[in-house]
Amino acid sequence: MTQVVRTIQEMMKITSKFKSENKSIGFVPTMGALHEGHLSMMQSAKEENDITVVSIFVNPLQFGPNEDFDDYPRPYEADLAKLIKTGVDYLFYPSVEEMYPNKLDMTITVGRLANVLEGEKRPGHFDGVVTVVNKLFNIVQPTHAYFGKKDAQQLVIIERMVEEFNHNVTIKPVDIIREQDGLAKSSRNIYLTETERQEAVHLSRSLALAKSLYEDGERNSKVLIQSITKYLEDNVSGEVVEVAVYSYPELVEQQTINGQIFISLAVKFTQARLIDNVIL
């Protein structure tokens, strides 16, 4: 049975005990509205560790003034049922007041890695992510922490944070989990209308088109970007916000492709901004 922990003090007491017994702790930080992508990370955590901890915390610091913090889905009972079924040992479920009892006097600012792609479109977003993940790592004291490759920029930033702040944790990247038709699993997919849901499959198909061009020898980023953009504009009603080609994990924009790259895109539908990517 999954034990629900609501206070920082209790969570630290539990994990400190396990650490003193040399037991490994697998940690999956989430904002809830759990889907198969989250469950895949939890399954990996269970298989690779003695104890599994999942956090559900909708972090206000990573939402901009016009973003969906108040409306973000919070299906607690459904989420808890999934955790119990998966066999997670602990759910850390703090309130905003528990995590941030006072206005923060100290903040962490992410540099260059947050000034491109999603970070450029959402100023301050990754500062909020890094702040809360730092707190969660100090509270849970995980041996391994699991993050999805769907948020590839976030993954790079977390990995760099662990390196630069000397966190004693190993980051475990987990592949994107997709619907049968190819749409990347996301908590925001519930905001799509029926028509938009049918169109959303074209995000992954546009990336497959770019991958095909790449495998045929295309190394001009502009050609790949134009191909993806035209395909999306022809097949979705949403606004194509961004299509970009960056080196990975350095996140430097590429004109001519050389080495491992990251092709990312963002499409704004009526009530949901969806992202997807492929690493080649």
Residues 121 and 212 in one domain: no
Residues 213 and 143 in one domain: no
Residues 145 and 68 in one domain: yes
Task: Express each pLDDT in 75-97 by its tens digit.
Answer: 999 999 999 999 999 999 999 99
Identify the pLDDT of residue 39: 96
Domain end: 130, 151, 174, which one? Answer: 174
Residues 86 and 160 in one domain: yes
Residues 107 and 209 in one domain: no
Inside any domain, residue 180: no
**CATH code assigned at 203:** 3.30.1300.10
For residues 176 and 174, what is the distance between their CA atoms, to the nearest angstrom? 7
Residues annotated as catalytic are 38
Inside any domain, residue 108: yes
* The model's pTM: 0.93
What's the chain's Rg over C-alpha atoms? 19
**CATH code assigned at 142:** 3.40.50.620
Task: Express each pLDDT in 123-156 by its tens digit.
Answer: 999 999 999 999 999 999 999 999 999 999 999 9
What does pLDDT average to over the chain?
A: 96
Inside any domain, residue 179: no
Domain count, the chain: 2
Residues 36 and 162 in one domain: yes
- 185 marked ligand binding residue: yes
Residues 170 and 191 in one domain: no
66 has pLDDT over 90: no
67 has pLDDT over 90: no
261 has pLDDT over 90: yes
- 80 marked ligand binding residue: no
- 46 marked ligand binding residue: no
For residues 174 and 172, what is the distance between their CA atoms, to the nearest angstrom? 6
Residues 52 and 164 in one domain: yes
Q: Which structural domain range is residue 246 located in? A: 187-274
For residues 254 and 246, what is the distance between their CA atoms, to the nearest angstrom? 5
Residues 115 and 237 in one domain: no
Residues 159 and 230 in one domain: no
For residues 62 and 76, what is the distance between their CA atoms, to the nearest angstrom? 20
Domain end: 120, 147, 174, which one? Answer: 174
Inside any domain, residue 182: no
Residues 96 and 145 in one domain: yes
Domain end: 133, 149, 174, which one? Answer: 174
- 268 marked ligand binding residue: no
Inside any domain, residue 279: no
- 145 marked ligand binding residue: no
Outline where DSSP puts E strands in the chain: 3-5, 25-30, 51-56, 90-92, 144-148, 170-174, 239-247, 261-268, 273-279
Query: 62 is written with which tokens?
Result: 């990573």
DSSP code, position 60: G
- 37 marked ligand binding residue: yes
Query: 26 is written with which tokens?
Result: 């697998």
Inside any domain, residue 116: yes
Asked if residues 32 and 75 have their Cβ atoms less than 8 Å apart, the reply is: yes
Residues 158 and 203 in one domain: no
Query: How many Cβ atoms are within 10 Å of 71's Cβ, its own excluded?
Result: 9
217 has pLDDT over 90: yes
Identify the pLDDT of residue 17: 98
Query: What mean pLDDT comes out for the span 150-175?
Result: 96
Nearest to 20 by CA among 28, 12, 10, 31: 12
For residues 138 and 199, what is the distance between their CA atoms, to the nearest angstrom? 41
Task: Express each pLDDT in 98-117 by its tens digit.
Answer: 999 999 999 899 999 999 99
Query: 164 is written with which tokens?
Result: 């630069």
Q: What percent of the chain has pLDDT over 70?
A: 100
Inside any domain, residue 181: no
Using CA atoms of 196, 202, 204, 207 in order, give the dihedral in degrees to the nearest 10: -140
